[in-house]
Structure 1
């Protein structure tokens, strides 16, 4: 591969993925070059509910590290994270209903190249340009912080900072299941 060519992992990290859980896992496995993932058979979790454990590992390749690193900031994966181990291993545990859900979700947003993160906060405080007065906004769900700058110019910043409720709120795992 020539230096100027993007790897399939770089392209995947930039484009993100929207689809079913099964499609996401297939896409992720095909996108990694030296890293990979291991999908375990469903088994009862510590509460006796059926869940699937998925392990991702980087293989030391920087593009794979970038893609898997972005997953750590995906709301869906962060809420199902179990542990990370030295050497680039991350372990996730997904409930059976999510693994088999036919609903399409945005598992990984396209990379905007700037800030794109989510946080659990109760209050956001925005100060005026003189650092004296501020406005406080209250949130009861995760928020998404996005810095958009479509026309990057070093001499004249023109970015927009967006703070909004996360667009893909997590469903209540204890809510009654939809009848088919």
Structure 2
């Protein structure tokens, strides 16, 4: 065994998958069931907008991977690029939104600015208080109940050992590592 991954949520199962894909001998240990923790409690948002600029390269890569996830893992994880909208309610927020959009553009994030009429036309269920919005049309969501089990199964197909219902109580360093 080369690597032990602790935790069977999205991060742990994806780590196990990508390590196994690179030829590492991986064992993933989950104290409950795969995908039963924080991952499944999320909304499954895959968004770049609103992230700190230093996070945008990773967020861009993540979005590209979500676009390939069905082919990569062999099942539909219900990723849909439905867009992500951020509503603006005052002039200070509008200035911040525009500054963010300008700063994010070199990182590959193109935000569409919507005025009040465009907001109401495209999203009639939203309240009338918003003076503007930014729309990132390529962001979206995936089904958080499907992602960790799909990565775990794909890692297993690549030879990773997936151990559920096993609590790690102690980690010790030995002479060999």
TM-score when scaled to structure 2?
0.25
Give the strand-richer structure, 1 or 2.
1
The structure showing larger relative contact order (alpha-carbon pairs under 8 Å, at least 6 residues apart) is 2
Structure with bigger gyration radius: 2
